[in-house]
Amino acid sequence: MGWMAKKKITQTDGEKRTLAEGLFRRCDGCGVTLETEDFTGNFEVCPACSHHYPLAAQRWVELLVDPGTFIEYDAQLRASDPLGFIDQKPYPERVAQAIRKSGANDALLSGEGKLEGRPIELVVFRFEFLGGSMGSVVGEKLARAIERAAESKRPLIILSASGGARMQEGTLSLMQMAKSVSAIRLLREARVPFISYLRNPTTGGVSASFAFLGDVNFAEPGALIGFAGPRVIEQTIRQKLPEGFQRAEFLLEHGMLDAIVPRLELRGRIAQTLRHFLDE
């Protein structure tokens, strides 16, 4: 009470409210109020109900990769404006805004590291960068990561989260679907394992290309996964969709996934899967 009393004396109501908002978070899943530090330390998973919040790409690296072993590649690549695309604002302005917001040059983080001592190639989509949309830079970085994995025999781990192809790049964006699928063939020929983890959301051209081509396809609990969104489908077919349609649990029930893996269990599950592929 002494701490709170001091705050009442020295701060306005607005300042106290801002402080409280920074110190505490209310879970959208169960409504419980917890310290922000608890959410952050738990990799944005509610300790009370296991509701999964979005997690920044760099924190996925922290979650999965052995400390001090990650080396990022191709971070300098940036999108051009091949179509001179303008909607409410020019495409270069949108890209610049996304760079400022995310601190990264595009919607994909890729590199190599070690998971429980085993070398891996890791690819993580940044949904915070234009909805994780797949344009020419994302497709190029993805293809390079696949090629590195095939050449080095490092297992490939892709953590997808995307709204799909980036409309501002038109056909060049759609070409990345074929480009990524074609590159996956290199892994098959080299007999290199590919584990795909579908996060919330994984939709559009990403779900329709490489995301379901893993030797093992895992998904985040409750993740929205599909091509077109539920509202678009309902408006097109004029029918009500089944409860939970396009959620990870629905896809697992219908044979589209191998398992739903909670975020905090993912490191161990990937390590177990790689032992099955490579050590037995």
DSSP-assigned states of every residue in 56-93: -HHHHHHHHSPTT--EE--TT-----TT--BSSSBHHH
CA distance 20 to 185: 52
Query: Strand 118-125 relative to strand 108-115: parallel, antiparallel, unpaired?
Result: antiparallel
Does the pLDDT value for residue 12 go beyond 70?
no
pLDDT digits (tens, 9 = 90+) for 41-65: 999 999 999 999 999 999 999 999 9
Report the Cα 110 to chain-centroid distance in Å: 12
Domain boundaries, the chain: 1-53, 54-278
Q: Does a cis peptide bond (omega within 30 degrees of 0) precede residue 201?
A: yes
pLDDT digits (tens, 9 = 90+) for 86-137: 999 999 999 999 999 999 999 999 999 999 999 999 999 999 999 999 999 9
CA distance 128 to 144: 22
pLDDT digits (tens, 9 = 90+) for 230-260: 888 989 999 888 888 999 999 999 999 999 9
The domain made up of 54-278 has a fold known as 2-enoyl-CoA Hydratase; Chain A, domain 1 (3.90.226)
Mean pLDDT of the chain: 91
Confidence category of residue 38, pLDDT binned at 50, 70, 90: confident
Query: Strand 24-26 relative to strand 33-35: parallel, antiparallel, unpaired?
Result: antiparallel
pLDDT digits (tens, 9 = 90+) for 171-206: 999 999 999 999 999 999 999 999 999 999 999 999
What pLDDT score was predicted for residue 20?
A: 52
CA distance 70 to 245: 37
